[in-house]
Amino acid sequence: MQIDIHKENPIILGIETSCDETAAAVICGRKILSDEIASSAKTQALFGGVVPEIASRMHTDEIASVVDNAIKKAGITYEDIDAVAVTYGAGLLGALLVGVSFAKSFAYALGKPLIAVNHIRGHLAAAYLVATELKPPFVTLLCSGGHTAILYTPDETREEVLGGTLDDAVGEAYDKVARVLGLSYPGGPNIERCIAEGDGKPVVPMPKMLKGGGGYDFSYSGLKTAVINYCHAKQQKGEAYSKADVAASFQCAAIDVLVEKTMTAAAEKGVTTVTAGGGVAANGYLRRRLQEECAKRGYTLVLPEKRYCTDNAAMIASEGLIQYRLGNFAGLDLNAKASIPLSATLKKGDC
């Protein structure tokens, strides 16, 4: 197989199936040519969260047509593809296996190289699709359903994890608080809608988050428990309470600490560019707070569009492009992994 890793604008097919979204996208250099997603979120909402078996079955049903649509909408042929990049971890094992197996057979059948992508590095790489001239160094706030961390990227190929959550991820806290408030999955957008019914003021006392004392670490389990206890106590006493007030109070506590620590990290690392990624980065309040704080300091903020914050395959292709240029290809013995270190990059022979 002839691979030109110096090709100016390689065409990368990205495939993502780590959770409840079956996604495929095609990029040419950093330009998105197509971006397809089939989500099982509506079905999952009936069960109050993601049921792994339902996710795997839906991926199996959808993957072939989602990939086919992505290639057709990109206006390319199979032959034009330079590499197939697929999420190999972290995520739900059965769900990941669908994408990995499909990508392996697809790459093998077409005689194209395969690239193994760490889902979290994919979220980081989404920023390169918005700001195509973006160059490290920068600091990233990564906040999804599975992770909450602040990372420092000195160059495209590596990042330093400055801190992360000691317990729940912020998105997980959103999902659990939503359930207590009787809102359906996914919690984040539904909590935002609920807050819009009130005045958005944080009037319900919430526990102090790990601010200065916790370095760059976070803890969300205490905040989640405080909301649960508040609602249960009110229910037991037969007292009415405003869901919008509780949701707004939770959101301010959950988000303010993220923004504050991201700004501290940028100052400490001496960078003037801040990026964000992961599903919670689609949150309107977080986006506004980041914009305000970056503007005050004269920092450049690179915020992917909302659809590129939540799970998608364009970000997987974007990270695939970085690995392509490094010549970091995977073998057909690539396996899915439910859990991998936050910033792991699979090297050939590691799988």
Among residues 12, 282, 290, 346, which is the contact residue for ligand KG4, using CB under 6 A? 282
99: contact with ligand KG4 by CB under 6 A: no
Residue carrying the six token digits 């001496």:
270
Site for ligand KG4 in 311-350 (CB under 6 A): 311
* Nearest residue to 218 via CA among 178, 263, 168: 168
Strands (E), the chain: 11-16, 21-28, 31-39, 83-89, 114-118, 138-143, 148-155, 158-164, 273-277, 300-302
10: contact with ligand KG4 by CB under 6 A: no
88: contact with ligand KG4 by CB under 6 A: no
Distance CA 135, CA 188 (A): 30
19: contact with ligand KG4 by CB under 6 A: yes
Residue 310 touches which of Zn ion, ligand KG4, none (CB < 5 to 8 A by kind)?
ligand KG4
* Nearest residue to 31 via CA among 309, 277, 305, 321: 321
Among residues 61, 167, 192, 256, which is the contact residue for ligand KG4, using CB under 6 A? 192
Length of the chain: 351
How far from the centroid of its chain's Cα atoms is residue 148's Cα? Answer: 10
Q: 118 — phi, psi (to 5°)?
A: -75, 120
311: contact with Zn ion by CB under 5 A: yes
* Nearest residue to 286 via CA among 171, 176, 180: 171
Among residues 40, 144, 153, 165, which is the contact residue for Zn ion, using CB under 5 A? 144
* Nearest residue to 27 via CA among 65, 76, 64, 62: 76
Among residues 17, 87, 101, 283, which is the contact residue for ligand KG4, using CB under 6 A? 283
Smallest distance, ligand KG4 to C-beta of residue 258, A: 11
Give the number of other CB atoms < 10 A from CB of residue 270: 8
The secondary structure of residue 244, as a DSSP letter, is H
280: contact with ligand KG4 by CB under 6 A: yes
145: contact with ligand KG4 by CB under 6 A: yes
149: contact with ligand KG4 by CB under 6 A: no
Nearer residue to ligand KG4 within complex by CB, 16 or 82: 16
171: contact with ligand KG4 by CB under 6 A: yes
Nearer residue to ligand KG4 within complex by CB, 82 or 245: 245
Residue 175 touches which of Zn ion, ligand KG4, none (CB < 5 to 8 A by kind)?
ligand KG4
What six digits make up the tokens of 139?
């600091």
Q: Which residues of this chain interact with ligand KG4, rule CB under 6 A?
A: 19, 144-146, 171-172, 174-175, 186-189, 192, 278-280, 282-283, 310-311
